Amino acid sequence: MARRLASRKRETAVKRIVSKEFFKLRHYLDGGQYLSLAEGIVPAFPLFDSLNSSYQLGTIQLSTDSEAIMARVHIRKETTTDPPGNWQLWFQWCRYELERETKYGYRYIWRRPDGALQAARGQARIPTIAAGKALMDKATAEGWGDRDWEKMAQAIERLHKEGCVVNLETGYVGWPNKEAATTARLTQEMIDDERLVREWS
């Protein structure tokens, strides 16, 4: 009986630690401080010659008893309908970099009157359905409201199968070496996939 109680206490303690660290991670993903990050270095054999411009990101390191977890959120596009100098609700297209994977997606987030992001325990309060929809419609009018991570991930997978190098930090798609760049054949599907990755990254 005593052994079972001790085991349950240890299990409860572990669940609390995991829950606490997950809460911290979600707390970060919808908030964080801004830093500047220069464009990364990419291979010299692009499919096309265009690369994305620089971007802003939020970053944080989460510590546990056993290891440190690093997560980053890169804001690629954003829009708001609120005037400057007040609290503003923003709609953003972001790159989420976790330890073992990178994903893109949309999020809502508040900014304080001083422009700082408001961390809100992993969620942003949306005052009305109309307010959330207005921001989605504005993103669509600005040309980036139709992005789809699942579609993007499928394009990346197809490019990898063709032997391409894909760098999501810059939207770069190219060949791993000179030989591949000389002998490989471009298909229309590859051209379309490259354009999608470049424009959405």
Mean pLDDT of the residues in the chain: 75
In angstroms, the CA 197 to CA 75 distance is 16
More confident residue, 191 or 24: 191
Q: What are phi and psi of 123, to 5 degrees?
A: -150, 155
Please give the pLDDT value at position 185: 86
Please give the pLDDT value at position 64: 38
Region 84-101: mean pLDDT is: 91
Name the burial class of residue 195, with classes exposed (0-12), middle (13-18) and buried (19+) by CB atoms within 10 angstroms of its CB: middle
Looking at the structure of the chain, the number of domains it has is 1
Strands 172-174, 165-167: parallel, antiparallel or unpaired by DSSP? Answer: antiparallel
How does DSSP assign 67-99, residue by residue? -EEEEEEEEEEEEE-SPTTS-EEEEEEEEEE-S
Q: What is the pTM assigned to this prediction?
A: 0.66
Please give the pLDDT value at position 67: 46
Contacts of 82 (CB under 8 A, 6+ apart): 88, 89
More confident residue, 137 or 50: 137
Please give the pLDDT value at position 174: 92
> Given a cut of 50, is residue 148 above it in pLDDT?
yes
Please give the pLDDT value at position 180: 87
In angstroms, the CA 32 to CA 24 distance is 11
Three-class DSSP category at 175 = coil
178 and 144 Cβ atoms separated by less than 8 Å: no
Band (pLDDT 50/70/90 cuts) for residue 52 is: very low
80 and 90 Cβ atoms separated by less than 8 Å: yes
More confident residue, 110 or 123: 110
> Given a cut of 70, is residue 123 above it in pLDDT?
yes
Output the 3-class SS for 104-115: EEEEEEEECCCC
Region 165-185: mean pLDDT is: 89
Six token digits for residue 75 = 């804001």
> Given a cut of 50, is residue 162 above it in pLDDT?
yes
113 and 173 Cβ atoms separated by less than 8 Å: no
Expressed as residue numbers, the domain containing 59 is: 2-200
